[in-house]
Amino acid sequence: MIKIYNTMSRTKETFKPLVDHKVSMYVCGPTVYNYIHIGNARSIIAFDTIRRYFEYRGFEVKFVSNFTDVDDKMINSAREQGITVPELADRYIGAFKEDVQAVNVEPATLNPRATENIDDIIAFIADLMDKGFAYAVDGDVYYRARKFSKYGALSHQNIDELEQGASQHVDDEETARKEDPIDFALWKAAKGDEIAWKAPWGIGRPGWHIECSVMSTKYLGDTFDIHGGGEDLQFPHHENEIAQSEAKTGKQFARYWMHNGFVTVGDDNEKMSKSLGNFVTVHDLVQKINPQVLRFLMSTTQYRRPIQYTQASLQDAKNNLEKLQNAFINLNYRLQGAQGAADATVAEQAAQLETDFITAMDDDFNAQNGITVVYEFARLINVYSEKTAVNAEQINQLLTSYAKMAAVFGIELKQIENDDAEIDELVKQRDQARADRDFETSDRLRNQLKEMGVILEDTPQGTRWRKKDE
């Protein structure tokens, strides 16, 4: 049984979906005013890995992740660039899709945009006003946080602590308009020529928190299984979503709350963020390294733990990824001419590793333990690939099981097609030189191939080659 650490209860709970064999899942998406950095990618990859494991276990997953395509940052950035907010959003939504595809993130079932749901947002706010949970002031609309009795439950804060924090806000003008310092905005009145929509209480645009309440319940229902996001969203964003949604529907909003850890930078473990100016965009990084390396680094750490981003951690990820890929290539190579009998011991070991993998990942998606099992599977494959006689059917079974495990982490294992006639000829010449004990020629050819970016592997079954980083 899958166990999930629920932020709401601060305990691991057995996952019981609302509908058997189906998972409804909402993850807060980006505000699309710039390229995503690898701190943003952490959340995207973490929840993609969780989704993939649910699918590995046979669940059908409806995965919704939004785009916030209107807010202060978008308005300011569009003004600076001399374009409209929708044009800015289209630009960076396109870049987002390219970047997440590069790191092998499965497309969401739905990617709703806030601006496509304005009518629903207005109706949602009107309902909260009718129920007495919201009020209008000079075209703004605020939520009465104190009226919601469970406010603070997710972040485990009491109302007095929240009031004290709210009183430290520097926007005295806004605080003066509120009935209570802890109230928050559902709708913001338009200023000047800002992008805006007409609502019963005035022309303006939605607040940030209301967007996710509307889009999650619209596409997944009043109650759904899992709500996810970065740990920095617990308060106020997710706290406010709960207050809004449950006040409107009278039902539990999300049944399990999941939050991923941060990415830290360098040996000082400083949190990566745009505000600190220490961020690395995915867009730039995947031009310099194999995107699978970044994916490996992000997906093989348990989602609640922080990830330290350094050149050393990237190199470790690259090395480990190559080991897994080489094991797959080595065994696939043995398919040609495989005529031996199946090895019962190997079959038993593989079955046990599959069980071990499920045990590891069922425990709150423990990626560290899960990838350790994949390493063990790679060792089993390497030993089997060196046997004198191997069985084709068993090879295919091993490769299929191994590839499915790796795919949970977004790792694509595939046989590399070496169809370069020039390289093939040089490899044959080197093999002949070695057979003739002409080591000078053999070394010269190896160096020539190395300069061409070719990696050679001398095995008992012959020389194999591949191009670097394939």
Sheet hosting strand 22-27, strand order edge to edge: 60-65, 22-27, 224-230, 254-260
212 labeled binding residue = yes
134 φ, ψ (degrees, to nearest 5): -145, 155
What DSSP element (H or E) covers 467? Answer: strand 462-467
Question: What is the pLDDT, as a whole number, of residue 469?
Answer: 60
Q: What is the CATH number of domain 311-408?
A: 1.20.120.640
3-282 CATH choice from 2.60.40.180, 3.30.9.10, 3.10.450.30, 3.40.50.620: 3.40.50.620
Q: Are 159 and 146 in contact (CB under 8 A)?
A: yes
28 labeled binding residue = yes
Contacts of 455 (CB under 8 A, 6+ apart): 465, 466, 467, 468
Question: What is the pLDDT, as a whole number, of residue 169?
Answer: 46
* Dist. CA 78–CA 84, nearest whole Å: 6
Q: DSSP for 135-146?
A: EEETTEEEE-GG
Could you read off the pLDDT tens digit of each residue along the chain, which spans 470 residues?
999 999 999 999 999 999 999 999 999 999 999 999 999 999 999 999 999 999 999 999 999 999 999 999 999 999 999 999 999 999 999 999 999 999 999 999 999 999 999 999 999 999 999 999 999 999 999 999 999 999 999 999 988 777 655 444 446 677 888 999 999 999 999 998 899 999 999 999 999 999 999 999 999 999 999 999 999 999 999 999 999 999 999 999 999 999 999 998 876 667 666 666 667 899 999 999 999 999 999 999 999 999 999 999 999 999 999 999 999 998 998 888 888 999 999 999 999 999 999 999 999 999 999 999 999 999 999 999 999 899 999 999 999 999 999 999 999 997 665 557 777 778 778 888 888 888 888 888 888 788 877 877 776 666 777 776 65
237 labeled binding residue = yes
Instruction: Determine if residue 400 is left, alpha or beta; phi over 0 gives left, psi from -120 to 50 gives alpha, anything else beta.
Output: alpha
354 labeled binding residue = no
Amino acid in the structure at residue 42: R
Domain boundaries, the chain: 3-282, 311-408, 421-467
